[in-house]
Amino acid sequence: MRKWWFETLENFPKNKEFEENIWDAFVEKLNEDPPNFGHAVVLIKEVKESLLSVLLPQHKYLKSQIEEVLDLDLIQQKLENDAFDIYYYSDYVIGIMGKLCAPARDDRIARLKEMKDVVPLFKEIFEFIANLSVVPYNVDITTKNMEIYLMIFIDKEAGIDGLELTKQWLTRSFEKLRPGGVTPREGATQANMTTPAAILNGAYMELLQWDTSKIFPETLVLDQSRFLDLREQTQHLTLVTSVLLVTYNTVGQSIAGVQSLKVKLKEEICTLLEGVEDGNLESVLENISEQVNKNVEVFLKEHGFPAHDETQQKTLKGQITTLKEKDNQIITLMSKRVLDFIQQALFSKLTEPLKVPAGTSVMEKELSQICGQFLRLISHNRSVFGQYYANIIGTLLKRLQEDLSPADAVS
């Protein structure tokens, strides 16, 4: 069955008066005493179906989340029990649109978040979603802007290269993958690792460990804040799982396998990490170690285990605070597991869910969100600048072929 809302509008494509009458009817319902939100539920249903229609195959987690939050039966129950909050749902929808849209629309998303008048807000939401599927238009506009950028900043006579940083970025990935650079992944040979896709994906992975003393590549600078935010989220996820691993290994059998404690610790650690930057990590780890010790002691007391003495508490605190060191073995281990998982997602055909790495199950939701946002960002970036990347990588691979002997050359 066709969606009644859009079907009605399609039947009257030039009748703006009819369309306004629909919204006027919505206003009348909201102005009743008490407000009648029945019409809003119908609109939410249409919004839900529209959002699902623009999702890509890899958006499995996002699709599941939309189905859960915009559960129409649950919404109807809330409506019947006077527990319906229309702004909760509009805020959620706007958040989803912000994840799906191109970065150029961030300002419009910000304006939507500030709107409080329900009817104009929903009108804007419908218009926004209707334009979400117009991806080629956004790509063409961004590509055209990039061409203008290159025309301004490339001056061959003066030796100015507008893609110098992009070339350096891709070359670093190439150098890691070329014969002798790294150990091949399981089931791969050194030669077939050095492919255009592997080089580009390797370069994208560097963004999650970006050295902030470096300038961002030209083709990524517009999304710099987004990538750095994902870098921070990845580091925080690594730290949380590292603290939990240290805690459970140090305390031992008395808390082994206790998921409820792990969830509680995770939530409190995440709260303490909010807004924390690398430079303040040492002080926040002190607070985290104190909070973890406190929760462990409460758990031991409630479940009849002997309390830890001062030495045992100091040991746990010391193990946690040493996580500030970048060469800490636990941090290194968990970082590798997290980054390997994200890299698997890049190469995966997404025909089946990836298994979350050991020690990260409590952060599965957060890890899935990071993966989804990362894949969406690089997908858009690749669609806009793919030809530039292909040209640069082609030159690198040609150089590799010339350097290798015929027997070793990459086919």
**Residues 6+ positions from 256 with CB-CB distance below 8 Å:** 248
Among the listed residues 195, 102, 159, the one whose alpha carbon sits nearest the alpha carbon of residue 384: 102
What distance in Å separates the CA atoms of residue 386 and residue 9, rounded to the nearest whole number? 38
Report residue 107's pLDDT band, with 50, 70 and 90 as the boundaries.
Answer: confident
Mean pLDDT for the stretch of residues 64-77:
89
Mean pLDDT for the stretch of residues 322-343:
92
Sign of the C-alpha dihedral, residues 318, 323, 327, 330?
positive
| Alpha helices (runs of H) in 207-328, residue ranges in sequence order | 224-251, 259-273, 281-302, 310-321
Say how many CA atoms lie within 13 Å of 223 toward its Cβ: 25
What distance in Å separates the CA atoms of residue 356 and residue 354, rounded to the nearest whole number? 6
Sign of the C-alpha dihedral, residues 382, 385, 391, 397?
negative
Instruction: Please give the span between the terminal C-alpha atoms of the chain, in angstroms, as a whole number.
Output: 52
Give the pLDDT confidence of 368-387 residue by residue, as tens digits.
889 888 998 998 889 888 88
Among the listed residues 300, 238, 312, the one whose alpha carbon sits nearest the alpha carbon of residue 269: 238
Secondary structure (3-state) at 194: coil
pTM of the model: 0.62
Mean pLDDT for the stretch of residues 183-190:
46
Sign of the C-alpha dihedral, residues 257, 260, 263, 269?
negative
Is residue 61 over pLDDT 90? no
